[in-house]
Structure 1
């Protein structure tokens, strides 16, 4: 599958989230940070989600919404939100709809075995629904600050 290019419109989609059904129309009218992470309640994903949670008010001051995406179920997401007091919706991309649109499924080594999984990635979508920025192969430490700095510089 080809990779989305900067400036390209996000194609139509419908997915389930903890805020109800979401479509590409929910991304219109404000900037959206869509961050993909491998699995609820794992160390890196928990830290990344907590970092976005703690910085949410700074993103909101810039008119930016935050949405997390993984292949976990809605039930898993609900538990994750409750446990970590997350203040933004999580998309349950169990059918890999957004994973395929953003081309984030990669072969990874897990305890010496090859497994298909989400490559930690973050995308910024502009208010018109087009890709504005992307970070792939994200390392958690400092990442949320980097996204915030990029968006602040554009404001």
Structure 2
């Protein structure tokens, strides 16, 4: 399986989500934001999900769908979705298949210890399934607005 690169089609994949299986094929035909986040119900991840939730209609109006990805289980995602009122799919990637495909697994410092985890990252994929923009190692404040601006410029 090849990895993703800007200007190239994303490789084939199939992953379980809160909205059923999602694949490269099911994303085809719509602009898609795929965002990777470390963990359900943590402060930064909750703020990020709320930002995408609050702007969900703006993304939809621009012809774009949103998909979140973390290593959490579908059960955890279902609870997070219900608690936060998330209108978009969350992919469960406990085996890190998508994380590896998108190269988002990094060594990070947490409370003075090195731990392996997801580097907060967002990817913009066009209607033909080509990766057109990526944000890696991002900060949550202002990020959703930046992604929405890029989606509108692309539309």
TM-score by length of 2: 0.97
Give 1:133's aligned residue. Answer: 133
- Structure 1 moving runs of 4+ over 3 Å: none
Give 1:38's aligned residue. Answer: 38
Offset of residue 154 of structure 1: 2.5
CA distance in 1, matches of 2:2, 2:16: 24
Gaps of 5+ in 2: none
Give 2:5's aligned residue. Answer: 5
Give 1:90's aligned residue. Answer: 90
Offset of residue 153 of structure 1: 2.0
Gaps of 5+ in 1: none
Residue pair 2:3, 2:11 contacting (<8 A) in 1 also:
no
Residue pair 1:2, 1:103 contacting (<8 A) in 2 also:
no
TM-score by length of 1: 0.97
Offset of residue 3 of structure 1: 5.3
Q: How does 1:26-105 map to 2 (within 5 A)?
A: 26-105=26-105
User: How many residue pairs are counted as aligned between the two chains?
Assistant: 155
Residue pair 2:31, 2:64 contacting (<8 A) in 1 also:
yes
CA distance in 2, matches of 1:112, 1:53: 33
